[in-house]
Homo-oligomer: A and B are copies of this chain.
Amino acid sequence: MRRIGIGLIGTGFMGRSHAMAWHAAATFSGDIQPVLVSVADIDGAAAERTARQFGFQRWTQEWQQLIDDPEVEVISITSPNRFHAEQALAAIAAGKHVHCEKPLAPDASLAARMTAAAEQAGVQTQVGFNYVKNPLLKLARQMIADGELGEISGFRGIHAEDFMTSPQLPWSWRLDPAGGAGAVADLGSHILGMARFLLGPIEALFADLDTVVKQRPEAAGSSVMKAVEVDDIARLTVRFARGCRGQIEANWVATGHKMQLGFEITGSKGSLIFNQERFNELQFYRSGDQEQQNGFRTLVAGPEHPPYGLFCPAPGHQIGFNDLKTIEMLEFLQAIRTGERSGPDFREALEIQKLVDAALVSSREQRWVTL
């Protein structure tokens, strides 16, 4: 069994999520065993605490030090978005495999540079589009690939949450156009990635980006208002290379919705409906069953949907968000072991970023943009 050293940069929301996932992944040892070597955070106390909690052997305030650590083979990047590129490129330069949280970069040109660097260096990469790690989405993808839905006729996707709804919420880095787009980048990337995961490349899109809250307090409680330049809602019409088309919405002012990441896919022989709010379920309709007794059936996740069985040997018990993240880490380890691409890597994230960039162009120029 090969042991592989993990270094984690960042200890915030996603840093903690990565730490939990690596820590859990270490228990599913197959041919490759992750070892939590080091954690870096500019806040030393946070780094130290994370190291102690999750069993990292050491910690540092200097992320470069972590990259240089000879026992670290994998760099997990969860720092603020604006550091992603610099850290990833440094890690690649040091020959390390890189798991980077989304977004990979604020635009496709930088993402392309990162992808090229990784591919030239021959390192494995992964980007945190965790939702597609869902066992039931693997089933969906397989069913589509196997033709069980027939010829796909349409896709209707959404990722809507409500965390930016309040106009009192102050301006923040999320709204900085230097960091890229708004909801279409933050949430849209998930549903675009899911669309690609299930149906393959999108070759053209038309977008309408809308800024609902036009200005926000410069800071919490401030009466000075700052204009918002990025989108709160993005509405896309898309054409897939395989021939079918669809609509996609990304929305972070969707009052009442906490995690409405879902889709409906229709095909000539069947249909699927999914919603992340109930991600241990998948709805499936198959044509041709006796009409009188037919209808959408609700599949419930169980061991017959790998890798659900890693977490529980009985159906209906349900896996949680952190389990999706663990699957992500496990599959990344397999990619490192086998040398084959797995899951959304830098190239995939680049393709998603191209769609986000295209949405900005399309909306500004009010025209279809071909990828």
Contacts and interface: CB of A to CB of B under 8 A. Distances in A.
A257 B153 CA distance: 13
A163 interface: yes
A161 interface: yes
Which one of A143, A153, A158 has the greatest number of beta carbons of chain B within 10 Å? Answer: A153
A7 interface: no
A251 B277 contact: no
Nearest to A251: B154
Given A23-B27, A237-B206, A297 B297 contact: yes
A20 interface: yes
Contact of A315 (B237, B254, B258): B258
A258 B20 contact: no
Nearest to A306: B292
Contacts of A269: 255
How many chain A residues sit at the interface, stated as a range, is 35 or more
A214 to B, nearest CB: 11
Contact of A295 (B292, B300, B368): B300
Interface string A312-343: 11111111111100000000000000000000
A351 B366 CA distance: 24
A278 B277 CA distance: 10
A164 to B, nearest CB: 11
Interface string A1-30: 000000000000100010110011011110
Interface in A215-266: 232-233, 235, 237, 239, 245-247, 249, 251, 253-259, 266
Interface in A159-215: 160-163, 165, 167, 206, 208, 210, 212
Contacts of A278: 278
Given A19-B27, A208-B206, A284-B295, A249 B322 contact: no
Contact of A154 (B24, B233, B296): B233
A144 B168 CA distance: 22
A146 to B, nearest CB: 11
Contact of A245 (B20, B139, B208, B293): B208
A251 B161 CA distance: 26
A27 B27 CA distance: 14
Contacts of A316: 161, 257-259, 276-277
B304 A299 contact: no
A256 B270 contact: yes
Contacts of A256: 266, 270-271, 285, 287, 295-296
A271 B257 contact: yes
The 9 closest A-B pairs by CB, nearest first: A320-B320, A258-B316, A259-B316, A256-B285, A297-B297, A317-B321, A295-B297, A319-B320, A258-B315
Interface of A: 13, 17, 19-20, 23-24, 26-29, 52-55, 139, 143, 149-150, 153-154, 156, 158, 160-163, 165, 167, 206, 208, 210, 212, 232-233, 235, 237, 239, 245-247, 249, 251, 253-259, 266-271, 276-279, 284-287, 291-300, 302, 304-305, 311-323, 366-368
Given A154-B233, A277-B300, 13 more contacts: A153-B232, A161-B316, A163-B314, A235-B245, A255-B266, A255-B271, A256-B285, A256-B295, A259-B317, A278-B278, A292-B304, A311-B321, A318-B320
